[in-house]
Amino acid sequence: MSRPNKPNIVLITTDSQRWDTLRCMGSPFALSPHLDRLAEEGVLFEQAHTSSPVCTAARCSLMTGLHTPIHGCIENGIGRRQPLPMFTDALKEAGYRNLMIGKTHFGPVPPSFDVVHAVSEKSNDADDAYARYIRPLGYSRVSDHPNEIPEERFMEAFLADTAIAEMEKSLAEHGDQPFFAYCSLVSPHEPFDPPGRFMRAMDDAQLPPINYSPGEMAAFPEQLKVMLGMTGAGPDKPAELKHFTEKDGVTNAEALAEEVDGIRKRYYGLAAYCDEQIGRLIAFLDRAGIRERTLVIFSSDHGLQMFDHGFNDKHNYYDASWRVPFIMSMPGTLPSGERRDFAIWNDIPATILGAAGTASPYIQGFDLFTPLAAGLPSPRRCAVGSLYKSAALATKRWKLEYYFEERRGRMFDRRQDPHEQRDVYDDPAHRGVRGELLTALLHWRSDISDVQHLVETTRGGGPVARRLAPRTLAMRGTDAEERLNEWAERLDSY
């Protein structure tokens, strides 16, 4: 349990952060110097995707390493199955001191966390660690634009301060014990309220045009329309601007251009503020002299449309929402300044356990740390995810979404149509590759299972059960992922 064998591990996540908030991801307007530096000192995954493009579902996949149909949380407001082991349980058994600072939103916090400073959504109703800090200072717990809370007092600064204090305490009082610190920032989740200097940081930025074609929302799958409140179904009709309206070929997008531009600039300013706080966390590791003995992972639970394709939400498989930033860094152990292709959020717990020298055979994700340390490619060759009653597959070239209740899908050629404007699902010229993609996705969906339950309950039975028992006991959570990998690589040859 010495430090050379068991590094400290710091996981930093944000909420609702698009991939194009990072200049190192190719965004010409992003303000992200600290995350750009982290990428220079580590490995950037250019095709990272969340396991599910919605908060609670993704975070439950992070903590359990399971896909949403297995842990049960297929959408916000639906609880995950319990009890389920969390990856922090295995870390605790491996000798780690576990610190939880920030947004949880994955259900009950497991007792394997030794320290918990939890915060909730941006709400004045919350009575959490940040509320107890900010209210005595005379500020409301939640702000709006313009933000009156000083940037050094705003939530992300508070969370960075708290994480630094707890890491310092762990080093001082438990110096021989490695720590895992999860710093879970809440921004740039709405309200888009960048504080201090960041309120006007993007004023002069030239943002790219909205990726939107009038009329495209009419062709959305029914599940997406319901989730966006476009059908009139459901009790909630948000007052804030969520999507453009289209009627008889006429859209209000042009009339809303100025308002949308302001929303976007505040969002990217808030992402830049998060970058500043992440820089403070990295600076602490440098200052404490533990940077080379600490694995740092940064990602976000999902992105956000910012009116690309006509709406501002997640709950979809467009790149703006499903694809996320993902950086790993440990100078001297992992490569520096290198890029890999695919990773998903299920890979995070497997990677953390791999760095800690342990593993779980039930996690439906790959250990990225071990191959990266050996200079090898990412073991994941494609992205796969699910959302409510749908699933999606992304390879280097193709993206296929399938909606089970509607028995229909959408398909995009990522190479020829990077803006995802031409759905070729029903194009006769793409019928062959569509069939292969759909078969691969549906095979994966039927192939994933609760491997832990199958393995731990296999006992007794008749001759058939006894013949099958060795096969069942040899199952691993990555079996379906491996089979999908092989299929995806073949598909990219089309």
pLDDT digits (tens, 9 = 90+) for 6-16: 999 999 999 99
Of the candidates 344, 388, 405, 386, which has an alpha carbon nearest to the alpha carbon of residue 77? 388
How many CA atoms, within 13 angstroms, populate the side-chain half-sphere of residue 129? 20
User: Among residues of the chain, what percentage have pLDDT more than 90?
Assistant: 90
Tens of pLDDT, residues 390-438: 999 999 999 999 999 999 999 999 999 999 999 999 999 999 999 999 9
CA angle, residues 54, 55, 60, in degrees to nearest 5? 110
- From residue 354, give the alpha-carbon distance in Å to each of 233, 277, 331, 428, 467: 45, 27, 17, 45, 32
Percent of the chain with pLDDT over 70: 97
Query: Taking the CB of residue 166, how many other CB atoms lie within 10 A of it?
Result: 20
Q: What is the pLDDT of residues 360-401, one digit of tens each?
A: 999 999 999 999 999 999 999 999 999 999 999 999 999 999
Q: Each residue of 214-262: pLDDT tens digit?
A: 999 999 999 999 998 888 655 554 456 889 998 887 899 999 999 999 9
Give pLDDT, residue 5: 81
pLDDT of residue 3: 36
Q: Is the pLDDT of residue 307 over 60?
A: yes
Q: What is residue 309's predicted lDDT score, i.e. its pLDDT?
A: 97
pLDDT tier at 143, thresholds 50, 70, 90: confident
DSSP H helices in 363-404: 369-373
For residue 297, which of 352, 338, 228, 377 has the smallest C-alpha distance? Answer: 352
Q: What is the mean pLDDT of residues 466-482?
A: 97
Residue 274: pLDDT over 60 = yes
From 106-110, 159-163, 323-327, 488-492, the region with the lowest mean pLDDT: 488-492
Domains of the chain, residue spans: 8-206+257-382, 390-491
Pick the CATH number of 8-206+257-382 from 3.40.720.10, 3.40.190.10, 3.40.50.300, 3.40.640.10: 3.40.720.10
The C-alpha atoms of residue 321 and residue 314 are separated, in whole angstroms, by 5
What residue ranges in 108-150 does DSSP mark as E strands?
Answer: 115-119
- The set of residues, in sequence order, having a beta carbon less than 8 Å from that of 198 and lying 6+ positions away, is 151, 269, 270, 272, 273, 276
C-beta separation of 147 from 193 below 8 A: yes
pLDDT tens for each residue of 31-41: 999 999 999 99
Q: Which two tokens stand for residue 322?
A: 């499903």
pLDDT in tens, 93-142: 999 999 999 999 999 999 999 999 999 987 778 889 999 999 999 999 98
In angstroms, the Cα distances linking 42 to 167, 268, 288, 338 are 21, 24, 19, 7
Can you tell me which residue has the tokens 């310092």? Answer: 168
What is the structure's pLDDT at 232?
Answer: 67
Q: Which of 444, 448, 433 is nearest to 486 (CA)?
A: 444
Mean of per-residue pLDDT scores for the chain: 95
pLDDT for position 235? 52
